[in-house]
Amino acid sequence: MTATVQQAVLTSEWTKARTLRSTTWPLLLTVVASVGLSVAFGLYLRGSFDRMPVADQRGFNTAEFAVGSVVYGQILLVAFGVLVVCSEYSGGTIRTSLAAVPRRGTFYSAKVLVGTALALVVSAVTVAGAYLAAHVALGSRSGPLLGPDESRILVGSTLYLTLICAFSIGVATMLRSAALSLGTLIPFFFVVSNILGHVPVVREIGQYLPDQAGHQIMVATPRPDSPLGPWTGLLVMAAWAVVALGGGYVLLTRRDA
């Protein structure tokens, strides 16, 4: 019986995520925006490659270059993670959903599983698409497919984007407001985290923030002053996502809808 209930709740959450415009559009735009930026940046670099310093030319990594455009597209996955949760709060359907599924842990786990699974698929398509688009745009400047460290960068970037979405789902569940969640997450990832991660006085703390730690997996040569390697940085980011999701679970099960 429990397995049947869980399957029914998963099906319900899948239907919500698949049919609501507020959740489907961010996923589609994640792919389109990231691949489009990869093409644009690739064409620009193709024409200016010879003006780069020789050391930069020799150390050029197509995968690292391609996922640079994906970082700009991550804002859409943040929006998707927020809207997976908050669309029900803003529409007032959260009470109906919780009445239909009194076990809030079951309801929450289904929402998290569907949201992160969709994010994983879209992230894989986005990263692969941006990488192939960069190869085409760069032409002879791109080098061979799957060169040194490129497999690790591509796989790691896919996991990075998925974890960003999972973290956003947890934060949105705690805050219950799309405006508040987006108003917190977007400045945090694009302003606050960058400042804390690069200002010498607070860099020791900033490098352990989720996106700063996870970003180590997306570069061919991690920052030499960071104690985190590519995979340890991703583990730190995963820990942040687990904490956020755990906080969402605790608050969802303890307060009124």
109/105 Cα distance (integer angstroms): 6
**Can you give the pLDDT of all 257 residues of the chain as single tens digits?**
467 767 888 888 888 888 888 888 999 999 999 999 999 988 888 877 767 676 566 668 888 888 888 888 889 999 999 999 998 888 778 888 888 888 888 899 999 999 999 999 999 999 999 999 988 888 877 777 777 788 999 999 999 999 999 999 999 999 999 999 999 999 988 888 877 777 776 777 888 889 888 989 988 877 777 788 899 999 999 999 999 999 999 999 988 76
- Give the pTM: 0.91
Number of domains making up the chain: 1
Domain that holds residue 215: 2-254
Give Cβ neighbours of residue 190 (< 8 Å, ≥ 6 apart).
75
Give 131-172 as a 3 state SS string: HHHHHHHHHHHCCCCCCCCHHHHHHHHHHHHHHHHHHHHHHH
> What do you get for the CA distance between the two ends of the chain, in Å?
26
